Amino acid sequence: MQFNGIDFDTYFKNYPDENGYFGKYGGVYISEELKKAMEEINEAYFTICKSRKFIAELRRIRKEFQGRPTPISHLERLSNSLGNVQLYVKREDLNHTGAHKLNHCMGEVLLAKYMGKKKVIAETGAGQHGVAMATAAAYFGMECDIYMGSVDIKKQAPNVARMKILGANVVEVTHGLATLKEAVDAAFEAYSKEYKDAIYCIGSVVGPHPFPMMVRDFQSVVGIEARAQFMEMTGELPDAVVACVGGGSNAAGMFAGFLNDPVEIYGVEPLGRGTTLGDHAASLQYGTEGVMHGFNSIMLKDENGDPAPVYSVASGLDYPSSGPEHAFLHELGRVHYDVVGDDETLDAFFKLSRLEGIIPAIESAHAVAFAMNLAKKMGKGSILINLSGRGDKDMDYIIEKYGIPEK
């Protein structure tokens, strides 16, 4: 399929380019010393990860350990409550550890093992990436340091406990807003001192090349599975595909299966409390071009041009930028990016729980909320939502802060 001069038949062979750019977004904006480490990872990815042995081992892990493929569920009761549009969800909440994150973590740590590394370093916001990384490290017998902001540690206590039980060293980050951006800062700093023996396993399609490409490729299993499953279930493609976007790993994986199809694709950013800077984390809606954490993309900036403070009820979405591929697809117009606020998200969280028996991650509830609004506008057709994770981690925080609404 051709779209605005881009041939999506060959898209994944051409993007990113050899320098890690999706158009003008991406690249490698780090010290010369760390560039050498990125080049080592890039070379290993294109040799080791393309080998029959690596692919066979990763496929076995996905089937026997992760429980893939994850199913698609038809949300019949929720659909009926909204009208004629039929809603479906790709159940990444049923992937081992309860979210999509393990898809790229097992790939990254398997690569680290092949490279002879002894340790993995990672950051986490909601804790899903941290739990997945701790799980992968335990599986492969590697040391694991997880950097997490103190604000998120308080919000996501169940996931902190899981990481520690799995044997990871959880490093509390207290500077700045003490959320995801600061956790990434701290993890990068630690990696710069340990890169010879460790690998930094970035938790999304962000960071310097090759990470946006690697994470997308490992996550593409979600979209590839979903497309085949939806065709088998319904005999046709969905009219729309929806996923939440923070850094954008679950969305990149889901979208990968449908970019070459005549399907409307929507990425949903967190509007939080409103449009005022500091009250949301909707970088693609309100940001401008800028460099942070080693890559060029669209980011929210303060008056000095530095990354702005951000907020979302979802710890996994409160990041002041988005992956460079999302910036590219946004500029191209192939993917529509929109926003959903906290109130609509919480309403969707409880509606999905009570009508379908599925408690979603609060990140995923953003996508559900948007799909519910979209269904009312469409009037007919089908929507496939990526349910990127389950909501166990969020329940204590939501009950304490918002309570449980009456039926």
- Give the strand pairing for 25-26 and 240-244: unpaired
Tokens (6 digits) for 148: 């997490």
The closest alpha carbon to 292, from 208, 200, 178, belongs to: 208
- Give the strand pairing for 240-244 and 198-200: unpaired
**Active site (catalytic) residues:** 101, 123, 388
DSSP 101: T
CA distances in angstroms from 237 to 78, 173, 217, 240, 258, listed in the order given: 20, 44, 22, 9, 9
> What are the start-end ranges of the E strands in 151-192?
169-173
Tokens (6 digits) for 117: 């590394």
Residue 34 bridge partners (DSSP):
none
What is the C-alpha separation between 242 and 384, in angstroms, rounded?
6
| Residue 385 φ then ψ, to 5° | -110, 140
DSSP 179: S
